[in-house]
Amino acid sequence: MILSINPQLLKQSNNISKYLTNLSWKELGQHLVNRCLSLILVTVVFWLVLWLGKKIINAAFHHSQKRLSLTGHRLATFNSLAINIFRYTCLFFWLSGLLEILGVPVGTLVAGAGIFSIALGLGAQGFVADVVNGFFILMEQQIDVGDVVEIGTIKGSVTALGLRTTQITSADGTLNFIPNRSITVVRNFSRNNMVSTVDINISNNAPLAQIEQVVRAVNHSLVQEEDSLIDQPQIVGPVTINGHLVYRVLLTSKNGQQTELGARALAAYLKAFHQEGIVLSPDEK
């Protein structure tokens, strides 16, 4: 049995020796260098096409802004979505090119395994859910780029709306990536006029008549000076909030400007009270 195996092993060893002897290391090295150069070239071309495509898309939307009857936020949304689709398309062709250079038969692989099997294996179910939900968000105009929204516990300005994710920048600068399939309830603060509530802390024995007179005078000035104020201020009067007595005024402003308007109005009220010598609480001196 040993005598019958040894000749086979000897023959295989001879074949391997002949292969290594006849192997041209120079040609092998040149082949590897060519493959590496091809990979680098394809990658460079990919980044150039991606950069140039973004420039063309941005320029096209910029020149079309005057001809299309779309708001700035709506146009920015379609611009962001077009760039997102273009990026995914370029990425697909880049990966296909890399596989072809490496000798992987992409067409045969897809045809043999089935494109749906590959898609499901790569977790495309979640991707499809993101795309479908993103499509309805876009078509229903739930949010646009630049809108101030609240999704779940995240509140901020919409930076980008893509096929798979929506990007929201919080007030502290945090960039949040939210999968579109996770977006169920959206609170959009940039569509309607907003009401700013101004509460002025007062005591139980505060001079309400004088306070109302000063508030009305300040409101008259605010209507003339504040462009963001779109309606007459509404004086609610004294109300109790969490056991504290406050004098409440409601200010209707353009969306996105309610916080700044409320702060300026409160400062104007307090300044007027101080000038009139009105004591709002016993602790004031």
The CATH code of the domain that includes 179 is 2.30.30.60
DSSP string, 137-185: HHHTT---TT-EEEETTEEEEEEEE-SSEEEEEETTS-EEEEEGGG---
In whole angstroms, give the CA distance from residue 42 to residue 179.
30
At residue 271, the pLDDT reads 92
Q: Give strand pairing partners of 170.
A: 156
Confidence of residue 278 (pLDDT cuts 50, 70, 90): confident
Q: Are residues 43 and 94 in the same domain?
A: yes
The answer to whether residue 139 sits within a structural domain is: yes
Q: Smallest Cα–Cα separation from 236: which of 253, 223, 251, 226?
A: 251
The token pair at 244 is: 């504290």
The answer to whether residue 30 sits within a structural domain is: yes
In whole angstroms, give the CA distance from residue 97 to residue 103.
10
Q: Are residues 198 and 258 in the same domain?
A: yes
End of a domain among 188, 218, 234? 188
**DSSP label of 35:** H
Q: Are residues 140 and 77 in the same domain?
A: no
Q: Which domain holds residue 47?
A: 24-113
**pLDDT higher than 70, residue 154:** yes
In whole angstroms, give the CA distance from residue 129 to residue 179.
9
The answer to whether residue 15 sits within a structural domain is: no
The answer to whether residue 18 sits within a structural domain is: no
End of a domain among 69, 87, 113? 113
The answer to whether residue 121 sits within a structural domain is: no
In whole angstroms, give the CA distance from residue 231 to residue 251.
7
Q: Please give the C-alpha separations between residue 276 and each of 35, 219, 249, in angstroms, as whole numbers.
A: 83, 16, 19
Q: Are residues 71 and 152 in the same domain?
A: no
At residue 119, the pLDDT reads 56
214-270: pLDDT as tens digits: 999 999 999 888 888 888 899 999 999 888 899 999 999 887 788 888 899 999 999
- How large a percentage of the chain has pLDDT more than 70? 76
At residue 267, the pLDDT reads 93
The token pair at 227 is: 């462009």
87-101: pLDDT as tens digits: 878 888 888 777 777
Q: Are residues 151 and 208 in the same domain?
A: no
**pLDDT higher than 50, residue 1:** no
In whole angstroms, give the CA distance from residue 32 to residue 34.
5
The answer to whether residue 3 sits within a structural domain is: no
Mean pLDDT, the chain, integer: 79
In whole angstroms, give the CA distance from residue 273 to residue 208.
12
Q: Smallest Cα–Cα separation from 198: which of 129, 266, 134?
A: 266
Query: What is the number of structural domains in the chain?
Result: 3
Q: Are residues 159 and 103 in the same domain?
A: no
Coil/strand/helix, residue 254: coil
The answer to whether residue 14 sits within a structural domain is: no
The answer to whether residue 211 sits within a structural domain is: yes
Q: Are residues 38 and 87 in the same domain?
A: yes
Q: Please give the C-alpha separations between residue 256 and each of 127, 141, 149, 224, 252, in angstroms, as whole numbers.
A: 33, 18, 10, 20, 11
Segment 101-130 shows an average pLDDT of 62
30-73: pLDDT as tens digits: 767 777 888 888 888 888 888 888 888 878 777 766 565 555 56
Return the higher-pLDDT residue of 18 and 185: 185
